[in-house]
Structure 1
Amino acid sequence: MTSEASARTAAPRPAYAERLRIPWLAWPGWVAVAALLAAEIWMGSTGLRAWVPFAVLLPLTVFLLWRADRIKVVVTATEFLVDDARLPLSVIADVVPLDAAGKREVLGVGSHPLAFVVQRPWISGAVQVLLDDPADPTPFWVVSSRHPVELATALLRSRS
């Protein structure tokens, strides 16, 4: 394959990309909790109660942790992507980076029932993306981010 052909097939590099990962200490902690719960259900019994709790709870815990660990936040040239939600950059009115106190305010007293929220409690920062779309009743998005200033800058830069 020539360099021209590989350049055409390569996707354009996003302006910003982040994965909202779970802290690594949560993995062994939650697996230990699942193993303890399975042992409580087992309690020395024989038959199905001896192995089903372990066969169900441990893989289920790993699956749920994997699902919670896969959220991606990406800013491309035309869209803001959060997991499988897509927002065209043309409808963004403003972007506000939030620290822990600002995030608590926006999700608490300043919340709106129609807001789109992707919040991870283990991540202190966030961005509030204010929308200007008359066809959409969603007033704003709140998305957790470990680097809210960089995400807000990338959104504002890509928008203009």
Structure 2
Amino acid sequence: MTSYRERLSVPVSWWIVATALVVTLFVIVAVPVGMFGGAFVGGLAGLVLVLSYLQYGGARVEVDAQQLRAGRAVIDRVHLGTVEALTGDDARHAFGRDCDPKAYLLLRSYVKGAVRVEITDPHDPAPYWVISTRRPEGLAAALTGHSVTRS
């Protein structure tokens, strides 16, 4: 049973910009070359963008009774230490100036929150993981087994 699940999909604004780009490419090519050329270039660009967004935004964060999954990385929960929910500048700094180069990062620039999870496995080279999340308190609660209280 999964106690937390989140997909870090790209925001709607990215899809709007991609659509504008595809339309622009269509027009730029269709005017001098013709409709077929414009449709080909626009369709190809649209396909590349859709596949890229689905792959990049397909990263999942999942917590169940045995494991934490963040993107392609998986670790048993017995190897997790302290968990810290990060928002605002703390989240920004965790991915930037305060980041250990050996840390595992699941970074999505369009997600403003994060969770830092200490790794206690002596065989794991990463001292901690920093995971982008839209619900840092919820992910931290799922990892620690505590419920989230809001005031």
TM-score, normalization: structure 1? 0.81
1:8 maps to: none
Per the alignment, in what secondary structure is the counterpart of residue 33 of structure 2?
Answer: coil
Q: Select the residue among 72, 78, 83 that pairs with 1:90.
A: 78
Q: Which has the larger radius of gyration?
A: 1
Residue 138 (str. 1) matches residue 138 (str. 2): no
> What are the ranges of 5 or more consecutive residues in structure 1 without an aligned counterpart?
1-12
**Is the 8 Å Cα contact of residues 35 and 58 (structure 1) preserved in structure 2?**
no
Residue 105 (str. 1) matches residue 93 (str. 2): yes
1:67 maps to: 55
**In 2, distance between residues paired with 1:67 and 1:112?**
26
Residue 129 (str. 1) matches residue 117 (str. 2): yes
Deviation larger for 128-137 or 45-54: 45-54
TM-score, normalization: structure 2? 0.85
**In the TM superposition, what is the alpha-carbon distance from 1:146 to its structure 2 partner?**
1.1
**Is the 8 Å Cα contact of residues 31 and 62 (structure 1) preserved in structure 2?**
no
Identify if the C-alpha distance between structure 1 residues 140 and 43 changes in structure 2 by more than 3 Å, giving closer, same or farther. Answer: farther
- The residue identity in structure 2 corresponding to 1:149 is E
Identify if the C-alpha distance between structure 1 residues 23 and 47 changes in structure 2 by more than 3 Å, giving closer, same or farther. Answer: closer
1:35 maps to: 23
Aligned length: 146
- The residue identity in structure 2 corresponding to 1:133 is D
2:149 maps to: none
**In 2, distance between residues paired with 1:83 and 1:107?**
16
Residue 22 (str. 1) matches residue 27 (str. 2): no
- The residue identity in structure 2 corresponding to 1:65 is Y
Mapping of 1:139-154 within 5 angstroms?
139-154=127-142
* Divergent runs of 4+, >4 A: 46-51
> What are the ranges of 5 or more consecutive residues in structure 2 without an aligned counterpart?
147-151
**In 1, distance between residues paired with 2:21 and 2:60?**
27
**In the TM superposition, what is the alpha-carbon distance from 1:43 to its structure 2 partner?**
4.8
**In 2, distance between residues paired with 1:34 and 1:48?**
14
1:4 maps to: none
Identify if the C-alpha distance between structure 1 residues 88 and 141 changes in structure 2 by more than 3 Å, giving closer, same or farther. Answer: same
**In 2, distance between residues paired with 1:95 and 1:107?**
16
The alignment yields a C-alpha RMSD, in angstroms, of 2.0
Per the alignment, in what secondary structure is the counterpart of residue 101 of structure 1?
Answer: helix
Deviation larger for 142-151 or 31-40: 31-40
Residue 120 (str. 1) matches residue 108 (str. 2): yes
